[in-house]
Amino acid sequence: MTKKKHLTQRQQQRIADNASKKLRVGKNKGVETVDDASFSAAEAGLVISRFGQHADVEDANGAVTRCNMRRSVASLVTGDKVVWRRALRQTGGVDGVIDAVEERSSVLLRPDFYDGLKPVAANIDLMIIVSAILPVLSLNIIDRYLVAAEITGIKPLLVINKTDLLSAEQKHAVEQQLAQYEKLGYSFVMVSAKSGEGMPELLNYLHSGTSIFVGQSGVGKSSLMNSLMPGLEAQTQEVSQNSGLGQHTTTVSRLYHLPEGGDLIDSPGIREFALWHLTAEEVTRGFVEFTPWLGRCKFRDCKHISDPGCAIQHAVESGEILHERYDSYLKILASMAQDKPSYL
Ligand SMILES: Nc1nc2c(ncn2[C@@H]2O[C@H](COP(=O)(O)OP(=O)(O)OP(=O)(O)O)[C@@H](O)[C@H]2O)c(=O)[nH]1
Ligand SMILES: [Zn+2]
């Protein structure tokens, strides 16, 4: 198994400090009794997967231990960096306890019917936005994910899958459309999970950091991941068998190490992740090319829709902002106004 990243000493100290702080709070409130004698010294770990009240934590050597969580750990997801301890005696298949979670560099949230917004994965460096061209390439959906990437601070990469289904002319037309995104600073890769075309180029983006595949159902996310990690399906099955949690495991997020380096989070629920929880102001910020014009509208509360003296609309008219992107912006705002997930 590939070696995982280590926390720096300073990071470890910080989380250990937070952990003891949190434990003290817990004690004072009488929330839980901390039985330190039952556990080894605190160490840094990486959450590979979370199942209900349990999580699988990987240590610095790549070994995975199933842990309970202190009640003071309010939120824990795949990709979280934690401070944990090994149990000195095994109890019911659980071999450790998670004391504290390090501050996240990024987090992906999804709307949950019962819980409102729910984090699903943390510390992601690259959001791989997968689209397929047939029947049509939806630039509007790409724009929605790009807004999400901008707002979460995760670098996006546009991946167009199923190039094997395209004629040379069709491919060229798509490349021209995507060249517009390149001008905005977004890279793209054309691939085929089926023929293998473009896969080495895609792999180059995955070598460092943690990546996640997002995109609508059927665009080929699973096919791409399986082609990058031939053992993925087998590993997924292994998890279901070991955990004994039945059907739940199939919807659980999980972190994998790529053979060539870099980590991949597979999160089946992530395609539902949408923009409906964003404010109009955040959507505006999510369109990077609007930035130079913001603050230049006649009215301070300009919605950039049909307001007079709007600098954004002016930039669209003069060709400095693409019509297509502005239309996408309007569409996203309109779908949000209906108070429903924008992917519906
Ligand atoms: N022709 C062609 N078909 C592909 C390619 N990649 C995936 N497919 C097919 O597209 C369909 C959907 O692929 P999946 O990998 O299941 O798509 P997904 O994005 O994971 O879908 P969900 O699991 O529903 O989110 C399957 O029938 C695949 O065989 C490709 O590069 N070329
Ligand atoms: Zn405006």
> What are the pLDDT digits (tens) for 211-265?
999 888 888 988 999 988 876 665 554 445 454 444 444 457 899 999 889 999 9
312 CA to middle of ligand 2, Å?
Answer: 5
Which atom number of ligand 1 is nearest to the Cα of residue 223?
A: 15
Do 15 and 92 share a structural domain? yes
User: What tens digit of pLDDT does each residue of 286-325 get?
Assistant: 999 999 999 999 999 899 998 999 999 999 999 999 999 9
Do 27 and 169 share a structural domain? no
The reply to whether 342 falls in a domain is no
What are the distances in angstroms from CA 270 to CA 14, 194, 197, 323? Answer: 30, 23, 25, 29
Do 260 and 138 share a structural domain? yes
Which atom number of ligand 1 is nearest to the Cα of residue 191?
A: 31
Q: Is the ipTM of this complex over 0.85?
A: yes
Cβ atoms of residues 122 and 109 within 8 Å: no
pTM, whole model, 2 decimals? 0.84
Find the angle CA(297)-CA(319)-CA(170) to the nearest 5 degrees.
135
The reply to whether 2 falls in a domain is no
The reply to whether 344 falls in a domain is no
Do 211 and 182 share a structural domain? yes
20 CA to middle of ligand 1, Å?
Answer: 47
Does the beta carbon of 157 sit less than 6 angstroms from any atom of ligand 1? no
**Is residue 138 exposed (0-12), middle (13-18) or buried (19+ Cβ within 10 Å)?**
middle
The reply to whether 88 falls in a domain is yes
Q: Which residue has the tokens 């054309």?
A: 190
- Domain enclosing residue 330, as ranges: 280-337
Do 246 and 124 share a structural domain? yes
Does the beta carbon of 226 sit less than 6 angstroms from any atom of ligand 1? no
* Cα(344)–Cα(334) distance, integer angstroms: 13
Cβ atoms of residues 251 and 269 within 8 Å: yes
Query: How many domains are contained in the chain?
Result: 3
The radius of gyration of the chain's CA atoms, rounded to the nearest angstrom, is 22
Do 178 and 65 share a structural domain? no
